[in-house]
Amino acid sequence: MNLKNLKNEVLVQNTKNLIKEENRILAKVLAHFQEIEARKLYLELGYGSLFLFAVKELGYKEASAQRRIEAMRFLKKTPEARPMVEKGDLNLSNLSLLERVSREAQATHAQSVAALNLIQEEPTSAAESEAKLRGYFKLENKKRVVRIEMDEETYQLWLTTKAKLGEAKDAVALKKLCQSQVEKPQKKVRQAPTARTAGVVLRRELLKQAGHQCQYVGPINGRRCENRHFLQADHKVPYCLGGKTVQDNMRILCQQHNVFAYKKGPGTG
């Protein structure tokens, strides 16, 4: 099988077919998990739990074993989901998510089925799916825990900043500080269109216009990139070809798409 000769569309379609196949195999693996649990086979083989059996006997990494067991439990109590997995329309991430959230909400069977249909509607990112389900079950939104290492000087600066903001709680003070940065009205300064790169003001304007998100749109599927990190101001008509550093000729690309567009040549993406 020489993938190099495949057309782009065929390559994408083949990958999708393989993923469906992968989900169908997943359905079989999960059915086996369920039977092993029903027989308490892991106990017979000397493991204290199905989880330990999955890690030590089957060789899964801890997180992978956990997700499969969660998926199996959801399938067990919500058999309506099984045909969807067998058809390849429901994946492992969503199954384990459904189990975690429905368990936390102590969902009834009817609610689990409703949640299942909710998540099947359209493909979303893991975070979006989780937010959707949490909304449905009226669960509190997940709190993010961020651990930041800093030197003593920065820490003292932070304490001073918090005092100035009049907030004792780190999260509240940080939110105030970020809001003051994001929402500050900016003075417009015109920049010479012959400048090589976008200055701070133009860049800020471009980022705002782009909604702080990469503006690359796939030519085949019309999908816009969702990257929000390492964003760069890129010339549509390259500077070396006489493109001006003005808003109309600029767009925001993530680092990956900037390199990609550059390799593809001007006028793409």
| Interaction of residue 210 with Zn ion, rule CB under 5 A | no
**What mask of x and - would describe binding to Zn ion in positions 52 to 91, judged by CB under 5 A?**
----------------------------------------
- The 3-class SS string of 5-52 reads HCCHHHHHHHHHHHHHHHHHHHHHHHHHHHHHHHCCHHHHCCCCCHHH
Question: Which is it for the CA torsion 173, 175, 177, 180, positive or negative?
Answer: negative
Interface residues for Zn ion in 218-237 (CB under 5 A)?
Answer: 225, 227
Asked if 214 and 257 count as a contact pair (C-beta separation under 8 A), the reply is yes
In the beta sheet, which residues pair with residue 217? Answer: 224
257 binds Zn ion (CB under 5 A): yes
To Zn ion, the closest distance from the beta carbon of 253 in angstroms equals 6
254 scored as a contact of Zn ion (CB under 5 A): yes
CA distance 251 to 261: 12
Amino acid identity, position 257: H
State the minimum distance, in angstroms, from the CB of residue 209 to Zn ion. Answer: 16
Taking CB under 5 A as the criterion, the residue among 216, 234, 245, 261 binding Zn ion is: 216
The torsion defined by the Cα of 18, 22, 28 and 33, in degrees rounded to 10, comes to: 170
CB of residue 265 to Zn ion, shortest distance in Å: 17
Binding of Zn ion at residue 214 (CB under 5 A)? yes
Q: Which is closer to Zn ion, CB of 173 or CB of 214?
A: 214
Q: Is 33 a residue that touches Zn ion (CB under 5 A)?
A: no
Binding site for Zn ion (CB under 5 A): 214, 216, 225, 227, 254, 257
